[in-house]
Amino acid sequence: MVNVAILGFGTVGSGVAEVIYTNNRQIAQRVSDPVEVKYILDVRDFPDSPFADKVIHDFSIIENDPEVDVVVETIGGATIALEFTRRALAAGKSVVSSNKELVAKHGCQLMKLAKENNVSYLFEASVGGGIPILHPIRSCLAANELDQISGILNGTTNYILTRMIQAGLSFEQALKEAQAKGYAEQNPAADIEGHDACRKICILASLAWGRHIAPEQVPTEGITAITLADVAYAKAAGMKIKLLGRALRRDDGKVAAYVAPHLVKEETPLANVVGVFNAISVVGNAIGDVMFYGQGAGKLPTASAVVADVMEAAKAKGYIKSNYWEEGGEDVVFSSDEVESQWYARVSGQEEGPGWKKLGAADGQSAWLSEGKLTPAQAKAELKGLEVKTLFRVLD
Amino acid sequence: MVNVAILGFGTVGSGVAEVIYTNNRQIAQRVSDPVEVKYILDVRDFPDSPFADKVIHDFSIIENDPEVDVVVETIGGATIALEFTRRALAAGKSVVSSNKELVAKHGCQLMKLAKENNVSYLFEASVGGGIPILHPIRSCLAANELDQISGILNGTTNYILTRMIQAGLSFEQALKEAQAKGYAEQNPAADIEGHDACRKICILASLAWGRHIAPEQVPTEGITAITLADVAYAKAAGMKIKLLGRALRRDDGKVAAYVAPHLVKEETPLANVVGVFNAISVVGNAIGDVMFYGQGAGKLPTASAVVADVMEAAKAKGYIKSNYWEEGGEDVVFSSDEVESQWYARVSGQEEGPGWKKLGAADGQSAWLSEGKLTPAQAKAELKGLEVKTLFRVLD
């Protein structure tokens, strides 16, 4: 018997209990041992839940129960979740998490703690929801030197951009619709300003190249400046606007990671990822391009990834299965200011452009595509004297 | 030190040697042990190869060398490859294979033999080339009851269909081009008649649902009947023609698997998989839709998957990591004749259709889409009296 304690009975936590309950037979078969939820820790009670009798309010019960094998942390944030994760690992329990903020900030020390205690710390659900991505990077792509990762890592912003592109809604209208549908929170800043995508590209890059890359090292730009004019000009160029988290490895081993809107050619797989779906494209020196696509959030998809990690931790008794990377530092990264790309610019004024290829003009403004590849500073220099409204990279 | 013996120094085998050599440092770090090629078995010599000194011609040297940990079988076919795989497993060596024919025919007995000898039998590269798919099904999606798998599993046919769709080439022209580019063999039957895709959907379905599904249980139709008229009518309906391998699980646990051309709606991710790329879409009861995309063939992408399996087998010393499924039988499958779908038909004659939605007519023939979902027998009954040229399912 594998006993699981779930910390936090919100959307993901309740999904985890549901998946363990619904797919109990198959899970037991695959783990060669039944997997059961023993405790659910929450500040609230859930008298109407079928799991009501498992709800407790005192973490030390879990910490001190030698029967608990795996602790699922779906609290979120980096305060109480950090404390409980530390205590669970120190108590010799494997921990599975969907908490991207915690992993992006403190993953390195938590994985070290897991290693010291010979247990697993796994967090597949922290990036791409249900999409298998961390596990494949760690195992299936392990024979490759990875060159770059580019991902649509946030379903909320992809939904908003999709509605702007497909239905002609303004950013504000699309955001309101996303909020009404429950895809965006009432305070949508973490999504629309790119912070959620930033945490995810940090986790991906850290795992891919083996040293911690912190959110502070990742320049992050959201989607709030994008207008329907940008959407229309992109379309005129055969492209779609997507918010991408990117990480690129240079020959010297240093990595540049950043989050920003990009113009993506319509025929590429990433351009065709619509709505709340996520997709992560990885380029390796043997495998070439490979892409992983699916639901990047939601109760059951996220729970699917959490429970798969629970099963892996359960099967790994006495044989650590854990993500791992080393401490980071200044020497790990290079600046995205050094990364060259083609650029898209929308500027005030219709007549005098920067000498780039003109995409169109209307309403006292015009849009342009650079001819060659430029660093951000070079692009800005070529646009000197113009009032730049938006300036986005074009994905190769 | 992990010693590898490669059986067969063709495209994939030489790619495996190259990847192990090129990415040696990272591989050693990730396995916590250096991985080296000790032997290459082939009937030929390769005096100009950097690996010339490793080439041998006698399998028993490998079989009897206790230093060989992992045998890579990239011979292909199901005769000598079967014998060597059996002998390697019986000698206590893990075997990694890219051989879909062997796995689809004899996988079940080989996995049993691996289990008896406490070694791994892994074959990620047998489906989707470099794309991680078997491993994710076995681990990352393990918390799900899977409902269906639909894949573009053959790059040659996808290349031919892409050229028909994008460049207006006839089937014959596109096939010739594919042969000229090395994407299709001089005898292209295994690809264009769907047998290659059939083997792959067998492997996927067997792994997903735990019992062997044999090629004889999978009705298989290739792409040779598709004309540019079909391509144009599909386009008029907002769809693209794709050769899919599909497997669907019914509530009673039985599985129907088949290979056939399908009309796929243009906005779906599978429709946008072009050229020699492959993609596999999996639907699970928790995760919903998830798709894996990449290069389904080719020297280095396939080698990427083989070497990842080698690394997994190497790390698993004393802890078996193996794919596994039970023997099959009549009771495993139900007939695809019971699977309902919408249908596309091209028939002789322009005026009198079957009462379905007319897509268009020209050159003495016309094309139609059924209104509702029908079994194949029902569709044929509704088309009674008409000369049916092509009859394809529409993917939901």
A272 Cβ under 8 Å from any chain B Cβ = yes
Which residues of chain A make contact with B140, given a CB cutoff of 8 A?
124, 132, 135-136, 305, 308
| Chain A interface includes B167 (CB < 8 A) | no
Query: Which site among A16, A26, A144 would you substitute to test the B interface, given the most B Cβ atoms closer than 10 Å to its Cβ?
Result: A144
Given an 8 Å threshold on Cβ–Cβ distance, is B288 in contact with A305? no
CA nearest to A258, candidates A242, A245, A243: A245
Q: How far apart are CA B55 and CA B72, in angstroms?
A: 14
Residue B17 to chain A, least CA–CA distance (Å): 12
Q: Does B273 touch chain A (CB under 8 A)?
A: yes
Report the alpha-carbon distance of residue B86 to residue B36 in Å, rounded: 23
Active site residue B54: no
> What is the rounded average pLDDT of the residues A83-98?
97
Within the 63-102 window of chain A, which residues sit less than 8 Å (CB to CB) from chain B? Answer: none
**Distance in angstroms (rounded) separating the CA atoms of residues B152 and B260:** 11
Of B93, B200, B240, B242, which is the active-site residue? B200
Q: Which of B339, B352, B349, B351 is closest to B382 using CA atoms?
A: B352
Which of A160, A151, A165 minimizes the C-alpha distance to A191?
A: A160
How confident is the prediction for chain A on average, in pLDDT?
95
Length of chain A: 396
Q: Output the furthest CA–CA distance in chain B (Å, rounded).
A: 74
Closest-CA distance, A130 to chain B, in angstroms, reads 6
Instruction: Out of A38, A93, A105, A200, pick the active-site residue.
Output: A200
Contact call for A286 and B300, based on CB within 8 A: yes
CA B154 vs CA A289, A363, B36, B164, B200: distances in Å: 17, 49, 31, 16, 9
Closest by CA position to A29, among listed B135, B312, B143: B143
> Does the CB of A378 have a partner CB in chain B at under 8 Å?
no
This prediction has a pTM of 0.95
Measured in angstroms, the CA of A187 and the nearest CA of chain B are apart by: 27
Convert the pLDDT of each residue in B81-112 to its tens digit.
Answer: 999 999 999 999 999 999 999 999 999 999 99
Asked if the Cβ–Cβ distance from B140 to A142 is below 8 Å, we say no
- By percentage, how much of chain A surpasses pLDDT 90? 93
Chain A touched by B320 (CB under 8 Å): no
Q: Is A130 in contact with B290 (Cβ distance < 8 A)?
A: yes
**C-alpha distance from B290 to closest chain A C-alpha (Å):** 4
Q: Minimal Cα distance from A166: which residue of B?
A: B267
Q: Is B32 on the interface with A (CB under 8 A)?
A: no
Residues of chain A with Cβ-Cβ distance to B304 below 8 Å are 141, 143-144, 284, 286-287
The amino acid occupying position A234 is A
Q: In a structure prediction context, what are the per-residue pLDDT tens digits for chain B, which is 396 residues long? A: 999 999 999 999 999 999 999 999 999 999 999 999 999 999 999 999 999 999 999 999 999 999 999 999 999 999 999 999 999 999 999 999 999 999 999 999 999 999 999 999 999 999 999 999 999 999 999 999 999 999 999 999 999 999 999 999 999 999 999 999 999 999 999 999 999 999 999 999 999 999 999 999 999 999 999 999 999 999 999 999 999 999 999 999 999 999 999 999 998 899 999 999 999 999 999 999 999 999 998 999 999 999 999 999 998 765 666 788 999 999 999 999 999 999 999 999 877 668 899 999 999 999 999 999 999 999 999 999 899 999 999 999
The answer to whether B287 contacts A26, with C-beta atoms less than 8 Å apart, is: no
DSSP string computed for B238-256? TEEEEEEEEEEE-TTS-EE
Contact B128/A at CB under 8 A: no
pLDDT digits (tens, 9 = 90+) for B316-352: 765 666 788 999 999 999 999 999 999 999 999 877 6
Cβ contact B111:B323 at 8 Å: yes
Cβ within 8 Å, pair B301-A308: no
B140, B283, B295, B326, best to mutate vs chain A, most A CBs in 10 Å: B140
How many whole angstroms separate alpha carbon A244 and alpha carbon A222?
9
Q: Is B308 on the interface with A (CB under 8 A)?
A: yes
Q: Do B123 and B99 touch, CB atoms closer than 8 A?
A: yes
Chain A CA closest to residue B31 = A142
CA of A122, closest CA in chain B: separation in Å?
Answer: 12
Number of other residues whose CB lies within 10 A of the CB of residue B330: 6
Those residues with Cβ within 8 angstroms of residue B183's Cβ, 6 or more apart along the chain or in another chain: B155, B156, B159, B276
pLDDT of residue A318: 59
By the CB < 8 Å criterion, does A314 face chain B?
A: no
Give A-chain residues touching B276 at CB under 8 angstroms. Answer: none
**Would the CB atoms of B30 and A289 count as touching at under 8 Å?**
no
Closest-CA distance of chain A to residue B378, Å: 34
CB B368 within 8 A of CB B347: yes
Please tell me if residue B390 touches chain A, with a CB cutoff of 8 Å: no
Across the interface, do A274 and B267 touch by the CB < 8 Å criterion?
yes
Interface predicted TM-score of the whole assembly (ipTM), two decimals: 0.93
Give me the helices (H) in B182-293, please.
189-192, 195-209, 228-236
Q: Which tokens belong to B19?
A: 């990847």
B204 touches chain A (CB under 8 A): no
Q: How confident is the model at residue A324 (pLDDT cuts 50, 70, 90)?
A: confident
CA B27 to CA B34: how far, in whole Å? 7
Render pLDDT for A118-163 as a digit per residue (tens, 0 to 9): 999 999 999 999 999 999 999 999 999 999 999 999 999 999 999 9
Encode pLDDT of A231-272 as tens digits.
Answer: 999 999 999 999 999 999 999 999 999 999 999 999 889 999
Between chain A and chain B, how many beta carbons pairs sit less than 8 Å apart? 177
Instruction: Give me the pLDDT at residue B331, please.
Output: 96
Token couple for A44? 């609230």
pLDDT tops 70 at residue A171: yes
B24 contact A CB<8A? no
pLDDT of residue A59: 98
Residue pair A309/B289 in contact by the 8 Å Cβ criterion: no
Question: Is residue A317 very low, low, confident or very high in pLDDT (cuts 50, 70, 90)?
Answer: low
Pick A322 or B63 by higher pLDDT: B63
**Yes or no, beta carbons of A269 and B267 under 8 Å apart:** no
Query: Which chain A residues are within 8 Å of B267, Cβ to Cβ?
Result: 272, 274
- Considering only the beta carbons, identify the residue of A141, A294, A305 that sits closest to B289: A294
Is A223 buried (19+), middle (13-18) or exposed (0-12) by CB count in 10 A? buried
